[in-house]
Amino acid sequence: MNKIFLTLLISSFISISFAQNKSAKIISNGYFNCFTNGLMQEKNKPYTCEPSTVVYNKGEIFVANDKVFPNNNSSFFSFKFRKRIKCKTRNYYNTPLFYYVNKYEASTITTDKQFLIFSSAFSYPASHPKHGKKYNTAIFIDANDVTQGNVLHIGKDTTKNSIDIKHQLKNALKSNKFPNGPNYIKVEGLTALPNNKLVFGVREIGNEYNDFDYSITLIQFDYVIINNTIQLKDKVSKIYKFTPDSSMNINTPLGISSIEYNAFDGNIYFVTSYELSEDSQKRGAYLWYLSLEDFNLGKKPNLVMNSNNKPLNFKHKIEGLTIISKNKLLLIADDDRVTGENSNKFSRKLNQAFWCVIKLK
């Protein structure tokens, strides 16, 4: 009897443990066009579709590219979305605000659904004469009228860049290795949390753009909304850092490439991606999650698994994640200039990007 009871107890424990691991499957996917194929910036230099971030709002997905667009369009655009992306209904947004950022890399929607926030990578030195401003800027826009918005700042600053945020991000990353903060960072994640928290995900930390370590590090600001304007508070802290350990059987260096809070289930989801070379076989991404409570306690996240109880490994370099519903997430890929031709993983044109919707179980 005792052995039977013990067996049942162990079985129950195993069942509960496995039940805590979320799994997911891709239920729809495809490629969308950023613009017409074959458009050239100059001789031997085509325009490239490299969307790095996405936000879902009221049946529409807002996408931002991290490269310039043809015909002087801003690299901020949208598609209608129901069960699939309506690729023929692409809208470009060309009001001046959208040109303040030259390299969009991260985005989110506030938990009250009032604002969409889009951020640059903050990767260029603030003092850089050409790129110092536009590559160090974040904007917020009205979720009900995306032509209305402004540049994101700490306090009431009204300059047309967010260099004040860049300084605080660096300050939060001070360490023995970087006592004055790292010379180089790259932001690729952004999410709003309850109680007016805004979290930036730092993917790269180092000395230069070609001398860095991949990172999964999160920096948090508090914010207030005054006169329909978001103002960050001058209080910033490094709140979370995670490095996958050997038990997870992931042997590639990973950096965060997107993060979003799911208000429907109280979990934070984030994507880590890898790019070992310009070979489609050596790039991909993983999806992770943890509860807001565990996040605040600094606990390790969980991998989202596939139907075979193995980590869900995307073939593309996923850089955008947004919440569609409690159990559905939309992801988009920035595969840079890799088209995957003659590959068994994927094949795309330079004006195209991969997207997929996954359903969580």
pLDDT of 315: 93
pLDDT of 345: 76
pTM of the model: 0.92
What tokens does 46 get?
């085509």
State whether residue 282 is helix, strand or coil.
helix
Below-70 pLDDT ranges, the chain: 1-20, 86-88, 342-344
Q: Within 13 Å, how many C-alpha atoms sit on residue 237's CB side?
A: 6
State whether residue 281 is helix, strand or coil.
helix
Helix (H) or strand (E) holding 346: none
Per-residue pLDDT of 163-174, as tens digits, reads 999 999 999 999
Query: What structural domains and CATH numbers belong to the chain?
Result: 24-360 (2.115.10)
